[in-house]
Amino acid sequence: MKTLVPSAQSLVRSWHVIDADGAVLGRLAAKAAQILMGKTKPIYTPYIDTGDHVVIVNADKVVLTGAKERDKLYRHHSGYPGGLKESNAAKVRAVRPVKMVELAVAGMLPKNKLGKHMYAKLKVYAGPKHPHEAQQPVALALGK
């Protein structure tokens, strides 16, 4: 019996919509990362991007457990001396709520070129509307 190695032509990518309203950030990001990597498919191959597209709506209503709203820090560096910038989750949610979900999902994807291709299939929106209705996305329920 031969091992099936999927090719780029044989891949069928579907679209999934996840409603983040009331969902815990980490659990939402883990489920989205699984779908983006293709781990939910029987043809999963670690060195090939076999994943589907994921659209996350209502990213501004995602829930953080415990005291993470004030204690969780988001850091980035400008590259200059003394250029470390920090802000807590409450401030990031107020300024750019989509960034919280994007960073959580990106942190669960591979840190290489393949991971960048997977991340490109992620679309996150703060409100309930998204412009991907033409792709006929399937609503995906998270276990709550």
Domain CATH code at residue 31: 3.90.1180.10
**How much is the pTM?**
0.91
CA distances in angstroms from 137 to 14, 30, 54, 125, listed in the order given: 7, 19, 9, 15
- The pLDDT value given to residue 144: 56
- Please state the domain count of the chain: 1
Say if 125 falls within a structural domain: yes
Say if 4 falls within a structural domain: no
- The pLDDT value given to residue 63: 96
Say if 91 falls within a structural domain: no
37-52: per-residue pLDDT in tens? Answer: 999 999 999 999 999 9
Say if 2 falls within a structural domain: no
Enter the tokens of residue 92. 């990031």
Distance CA 133, CA 111 (A): 30
Say if 10 falls within a structural domain: no
Regions of the chain short of the pLDDT cut 50: none
88-107: per-residue pLDDT in tens? Answer: 999 999 999 999 999 999 99
- Domain of 46 in residue numbering reads as 15-65+97-140
